[in-house]
């Protein structure tokens, strides 16, 4: 574990924070890494052309209950991975956008979350495509 401390501006108080896995902090993918990652995520759309350094997918389920169950399960996965999606839900549709704000772009955390969401949706929830 690595500890980082800094003197708070205008005070004599020191603030410290612990970093458990500093060596494994995410970094934004290069263009080649991003392209390679997206070949393994064929349903995810690269939002780079839209001016957003993110990937997205629209999940469509048979009804609201399935969409909500998917969001609930995804929330548990997000907590476990400490990586939370941007999403929007209307009835049976869940629009998901993934980006790693700490890196300013798409990282391995986004790919891991996207894979987990795809696996859950494919295994547990019949979807309308």
pLDDT tens digit string along 34-52?
888 888 899 999 887 777 8
Average pLDDT estimate for 48-77: 90
Average pLDDT estimate for 116-128: 79
Average pLDDT estimate for 70-92: 91
**Angle at the Cα of 114 from the Cα atoms of 105 and 54, rounded to 5 degrees:** 25
Q: How far, in Å, CA of 27 to CA of 25, rounded?
A: 7
Q: How confident is the model at residue 71 (pLDDT cuts 50, 70, 90)?
A: very high
pLDDT at 103: 77
Q: How far, in Å, CA of 120 to CA of 75, rounded?
A: 12
First to last CA, the chain: 45
């Amino acid at each position: 574990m690595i500890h980082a401390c800094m003197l708070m501006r205008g005070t004599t108080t020191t603030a410290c924070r612990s970093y458990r896995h500093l060596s494994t902090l995410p970094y934004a993918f290069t263009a080649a890494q991003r392209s390679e990652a997206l070949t393994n995520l064929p349903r995810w759309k690269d939002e780079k052309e839209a001016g957003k350094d993110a990937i997205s997918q629209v999940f469509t389920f048979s009804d609201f209950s399935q969409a909500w169950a998917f969001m609930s399960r995804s929330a548990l996965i997000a907590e476990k991975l400490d990586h939370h999606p941007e999403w929007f839900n209307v009835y049976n549709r869940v629009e998901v956008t993934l980006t790693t704000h700490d890196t300013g772009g798409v990282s391995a955390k986004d790919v891991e979350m996207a894979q987990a969401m795809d696996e859950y949706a494919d295994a547990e929830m019949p979807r309308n495509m």
